[in-house]
Chain A
């Protein structure tokens, strides 16, 4: 476990979590046990490719939807949401 002072605090679906620096948002969502998105017929989905081409890892970050979480590093104070769809 990394030094608490260096770990990054963010929220996933309102729940506060703490991750090591260099952790992707996709990893944070998986750690929180949530699917990253719901398919258009409502099925739960998670990341598939890990490299930004499958688009299954899309989440809402700080109110902006359709963010590819496997290619985004967690930043302090980030608010990540996997439910609902906010408009820009």
Chain B
């Protein structure tokens, strides 16, 4: 399949939806491609309560003329102005664009600890997503741990689904969290939300400077050992939701050749990357939460459709919010003790079962990867890369196509029709994809 757009938006989370709606309002032919069965990204996952903003955005999207490519995963950027994507049934598509808006979001950071590979030990957002997808947690004992504002939100949501959240363990110390809380005073809605979450988890203790030292169980999770200072104690549980804040998804921007600084895509005030015609908005430019991300999506949509003045006007609102990115970074910085958690035989690379001991003796990610095959599995280093970067202080970079596993046939001429030039394709000449309903 081939299709061609004036603006192609990658990622249908809050950012991508805002960008697509904004660009479509300018009368351009806009495509919105996303690999999940349903739009909303991670933070607006169906299967639970959605905030009012989410309903409003989804409604705008539905009402717009954005061409929806829901369930398509972008796996390569073979030529300028072209992306390749693949659907679950094996169909592949060549998508042409004049301008590109990357709203690829973020993923959780996972750090290894003994027992972290047991079934039912999941990410915090991961557990939440799986519950929204139908995993039953009613009356199950859950430990939520790691770091970041996500923990409280997840704990509250799980409680709402009937789970017994027995502990919420935040690795950051109280003073830093208080400072972060003070920062929220400028955003009363966030404060209110925080308070709501706090009340929602009722009996569960919210502990700070506390983390999971180990998970135990034979074939699946049975209990965890929690550590707080010198204290250590065992907590029986059925699920763990443990994630250490977020890591930007910069694989596609990197593959395209966008400049990346400190793991984030560099953008100017109108969200343009170092590549002309390629914009990036939301978490890949810096983890800053949904409000900032949505605003950036709007700015990118405006800038990509030539509305520079309006884009700059919104950009002024953005600069006020950028402090939140720094605040998040500082509040949830990782405790160095977390480096000592994994034992010698704890897997670091889950795809290839590469244990911590195998990684010792290497001085950089590239050699470690080459010799141990850590990071060479299907996750392409998305899980073990950030872990290794923290554990060993390595620079973990290097992107190879495809940026997600794709069918071998999608690398053949089934998808590759040579250098397709989007401008050569008059609008409407190619079959458009049916608008998929949410």
Contacts and interface: CB of A to CB of B under 8 A. Distances in A.
B144 interface: no
A45 B117 contact: yes
B117 A43 contact: yes
A35 B119 contact: yes
A73 interface: yes
A54 to B, nearest CB: 5
Interface of B: 35-37, 42, 46-47, 88, 107-108, 110, 117-123, 125-130, 133-136, 219-220, 347, 350-353, 377-379, 382-383, 405
Nearest to A37: B119
A52 B119 contact: no
A16 interface: no
A55 B379 contact: yes
Nearest to B36: A71
B37 A54 contact: no
A27 interface: yes
Nearest to B119: A46
B146 to A, nearest CB: 13
A20 B134 contact: yes
A46 B46 CA distance: 22
A73 B133 CA distance: 8
Contacts of B125: 49-51
Interface in A4-50: 19-20, 22-24, 26-28, 30-31, 35-36, 39-41, 43-50
A59 B184 CA distance: 43
B136 A31 contact: yes
A70 interface: yes
B117 A51 contact: no
Given A30-B130, A31-B135, A39-B347, A54 B119 contact: no
A1 B326 CA distance: 44
